[in-house]
Chains A and B, each alone.
Chain A
């Protein structure tokens, strides 16, 4: 590398600076849609009402064009033998847990995407393919996704699933809160199907009120905890249970939004591009001084 004069050095540095400054406003807008509407809708899952009929699993598959056995086959309790997770073949599953107090009425818990208020997947997605919509749904966009699976790494509830067997256009699959279906005014498929109204669909604020009311009125029926009210900054799907949530394999999560620390670090390093530009200027100065000193020594 040839030494260059000071003027060309400054000129080139100015070009770099201008380029970096020009980037800033665009970068500020570079984020996927992430709306936390006060009117967003959610679902309250009352696991003490759920009878474990698994009809929600069937309705979900039908609504999302996933292959399914006929509805009657869901009466078979065999799948309860193993703990199941939502995957690329089933966006929601119901698990059964022993009830030590009343063995004849086991606990049954429906599992699906929690539709976080501050979703880690939305924050993590490299191309902004996942967005939080005004109606509460966290949805995935096939036109953007590159299949990197960082959303799966990020999700605190371990929900997104990936089509590992697909060579072309593998999808990320998870509950989309029936985003398309609800546009037409229809209920989410699982809510509509549930024969015992274990699932209540409505504005999240309203659901929190209903949940608090139920817990207050029947303290012997419920634990004093509405799961999802505060977990990871609040989720739009909320749960009531008759036993400690840990016994039902709910993760123990703090009240801070999952993307919090990561985004703070990220925005700290890139605050208006000041740190990188400052580092560039610092290194440039060191380089210029080191060169200058070398020339003086030789002179």
Chain B
């Protein structure tokens, strides 16, 4: 009997949904929606600082680019747990899958908010441009999101098989619904590997193509970031951030629900991050020396500061930390290191899409408006709330078998 066999994904049904922290998040969601109403009624210009000089802001840089990167936990854990068949990591696969599924849903919402004609969001499905990196990203994201929902279906069937209890007159349908769920479950377990591999392939494709997006901007992008290996850098950083994201959310969820952190698994994951970050750093620095862009670091500018912050705080410091056995065994230190990696990748995406973009004719610079920040914060808060609701309803988080989470006084922490 190994450790993982004693753990079982269990709905946190004894937890309350509403806590003070949740109330704060709800307010942030409502605030975001208020600005969204302005955007849909009066146009993008009414709530954003975007203009003809700066067509893309944080709705693309954070909601879409960083959102896709931070959902990388889904495909990295799927590759580790399912493709490489390391069963000891199965405890983190479902939380990562849920994050990815909700993350991509928020990415889709972010795209719908940012594009001028949101009601034509389906156009890329029938109007193709194989030369466009954005087309590839769009198609891959749409297919991958479908795959993620399919991958999550077994969690839904597991929750309801044998427990279908429709209200009132619908109660007569309990039997047929249950039989449908069982058939669905059988079919899915036979074919799931197809979707799991497809999910990993689709992820490598669009994570890298997200990097190709800015290549076409050519000299409009600061040389510190503009490089033909952008797709490789995006893929490597996405692979590096997948596991740290799983660590961060696992520790946050444990704290919020008053559970014991899953440290044996998380420490092992933490140890894998350093080599992945090392590869990313090698390519990032190698690219800088090949293209001799380090000359731009001698000048004190927004670009040079942001580049150094991204490399030092987001890669070098956590890389050094994660090499230490003490760090990977301590929840607060492991959280700090993983959080730095996550922050570093978010900063990298902001840098690539917003900071590096220097249009030849600009009068003034871009800084996100209150409306843009509110919508971004609102969507992120909504994601956290949906995650919380999902782990209460569905068997996602693994608990020691037979003993459900004891309700404790810590369970009300937001």
The distance from the CB of B55 to the nearest CB of chain A, in whole angstroms, is 4
| CB proximity of A10 to chain B, nearest CB, Å | 11
Is A28 an interface residue, CB under 8 A from the partner? yes
Interface string of B164-206 (1 = CB under 8 A from A): 0000000000000000000000000111111011101100110
A145 vs B213: C-alpha distance when bound (angstroms): 18
| Contact (Cβ within 8 A) B194 A12 | yes
The reply to whether the CB of A83 lies closer than 8 angstroms to some CB of chain B is yes
A161 within 8 A of B: yes
Inter-subunit contact B130/A147 (CB<8 Å) = no
How far, in Å, is A249 (CB) from chain B's closest CB? 7
A residues 142-162 in Cβ contact with B at 8 Å: 144-150, 152-154, 156-158, 160-162
Is B410 located at the chain interface by the 8 A CB criterion? no
Give Cα A135–Cα B65 distance, bound, in whole angstroms.
38
- Nearest-neighbour CB distance to chain B for A141, whole angstroms, equals 9
Q: Pick the contact of B52: A85, A262, A291 (CB < 8 A).
A: A85
Kindly state the separation between the CA atoms of A4 and B132 in the bound complex, as whole angstroms. 38
B299 at interface, CB cutoff 8 A: no
| Residue A184 at the chain B interface, CB threshold 8 Å | no
Question: Quick check: is A247 within 8 A (CB to CB) of the other chain?
Answer: no
- DSSP class of B's interface residues: helix, strand, loop or mixed? helix
Q: CA–CA, A262 to B123, complex, Å?
A: 22
Interface string of A240-263 (1 = CB under 8 A from B): 000000000101110000110111
* Contact B123 A85, beta carbon cutoff 8 Å: no
Q: Indicate if A2 sits at the interface (CB-CB under 8 A).
A: yes
Q: Judging by beta carbons under 8 Å apart, are A8 and B190 in contact?
A: yes
A31 to B124, alpha carbons, bound, how many Å? 12
B305 is an interface residue with CB less than 8 A from chain A: no
- A275-297 CB contact bits vs B (8 Å, 1 = yes)? 01001100110110011011000
Cross-chain contact A149 with B197 (CB below 8 angstroms): no
Q: How far is the CA of A39 from the CA of B359 in the complex (A)?
A: 33
Q: Cβ of A283 and Cβ of B85 under 8 Å apart?
A: no
A261 touches B134 (CB 8 A): no
Give the interface segment out of A62-70, A102-110, A118-126, A210-218.
A118-126
State in angstroms the CA–CA spacing of A162 and B193 once bound together. 44
A265 touches B134 (CB 8 A): no
User: Which chain A residues lie closer than 8 Å to B191 at the CB level?
Assistant: 12
Determine if B43 is an interface residue (Cβ-Cβ < 8 Å): yes
Q: Does B312 contact A (CB under 8 A)?
A: no
- Are B51 and A164 in contact, CB atoms less than 8 angstroms apart? yes
Q: Is the CB of B193 within 8 A of A9?
A: yes
One digit per residue, 1 when the CB lies within 8 angstroms of any chain A CB and 0 when it does not, for chain B 76-118 equals: 0001001111010000000000000000000000010011111
CB-CB under 8 A from B134, the residues of chain A are: 124, 126, 148, 150
**Please, which residue of chain A has its CB at the minimum distance from the CB of B197?**
A283
A156 x B219 contact (CB < 8 A): yes
Q: Mark A65-94, 1 if CB is under 8 A from B, else 0.
A: 000000000000000000101011000000
**Bitwise interface map of B from 47 to 91 toward A, beta carbon under 8 Å scored 1, else 0:** 010111101100000000000000000000001001111010000
Q: Are A120 and B192 in contact (CB under 8 A)?
A: no
Closest approach, in angstroms, between the C-beta of B112 and any C-beta of chain A?
A: 10
Q: A126-B138, A158-B53, A170-B44 are in contact. Are A27 and B128 (CB under 8 A)?
A: yes
Smallest beta-carbon distance B2→chain A, Å: 12
Contact check, B193 vs A127: say whether CB atoms are below 8 A apart.
Answer: no
Which residue of the partner chain B has the closest CB to A34?
B131
Q: How many Å lie between the Cα of A1 and that of B87 in the bound state?
A: 11
Contact A259 B117 (CB under 8 A): no
* Residues of A with C-beta under 8 A to B85: 287, 290-291, 293-294
Q: Would B50 and A164 count as touching, CB distance under 8 A?
A: yes
- Across the interface, do B42 and A266 meet the contact criterion of CB distance under 8 Å? no
Residue A133 CB within 8 A of the other chain: no
Given A16-B194, A167-B42, A287-B83, check contact A152 B127 (CB 8 Å). Answer: no
Most buried by B among A85, A145, A153, A164: A153
Count of A interface residues, CB-CB < 8 Å: 76
- The answer on a CB contact under 8 Å between B216 and A123 is yes
- When distances are taken between beta carbons in the complex, the residues of chain A under 8 Å from B130 are 27-28, 30-31, 266, 270
Task: Report yes or no: B231 in contact with A269, Cβ–Cβ below 8 A.
Answer: yes
Residue of A nearest to B215 (CB): A262
Query: Which residues of A sit under 8 angstroms from B189, Cβ to Cβ?
Result: 1-2
* B209 and A126 form a contact (CB under 8 A): no
* Interface 0/1 of B124-151, CB less than 8 Å to A: 1001111111111010000000000000
**Cβ-closest chain A residue relative to B192:** A1
B214 touches A153 (CB 8 A): yes
B228 at the interface (CB under 8 A from A): yes
> What residue in chain A is nearest B114 (Cβ atoms)?
A148
Given contact pairs A148-B134, A286-B84, A262 touches B216 in the complex (Cβ within 8 A): yes
Q: Tell me whether A162 and B46 are in contact in the complex, defined as CB-CB below 8 angstroms, given that A265-B231, A284-B197 are known contacts.
A: no
Asked whether B35 is an interface residue with its Cβ less than 8 Å from the other chain, the reply is no
Q: Which residues of B contact A4 (CB under 8 A)?
A: 190, 193
With A31-B129, A170-B116 as contacts: A146 and B55 at CB distance below 8 Å: no
Q: How far is the CA of A253 from the CA of B154 in the complex (A)?
A: 54
Let me know if B41 is at the binding interface, CB within 8 A: yes
Task: Name the B residues within 8 Å of A157 (CB-CB).
Answer: 360
B131 nearest CB neighbor, chain A only: A123
> Complex: how many Å from CA A17 to CA B151?
20
Give chain B nearest CB distance to A274 CB in angstroms: 13
Q: Is B20 an interface residue (CB 8 A)?
A: no
Q: B residues near A, CB below 8 A?
A: 40-46, 48, 50-53, 55-56, 79, 82-85, 87, 111, 114-118, 120-121, 123-124, 127-136, 138, 154, 189-194, 196-198, 200-201, 204-205, 208-209, 212-220, 228, 231, 357, 359-361, 363
Contacts A/B (CB < 8 Å), 14 sampled: A1-B196, A30-B129, A31-B130, A123-B132, A147-B116, A148-B115, A154-B216, A154-B217, A158-B52, A261-B228, A269-B205, A279-B204, A290-B85, A294-B87
Given contacts A30-B129, A266-B136, A266-B212, 5 further A-B contacts (CB under 8 A): A12-B191, A123-B131, A153-B220, A165-B43, A294-B87
- Which 10 A-B pairs give the minimum distances between C-beta atoms? A147-B116, A164-B45, A30-B128, A290-B85, A149-B55, A152-B55, A127-B127, A128-B129, A170-B116, A262-B216
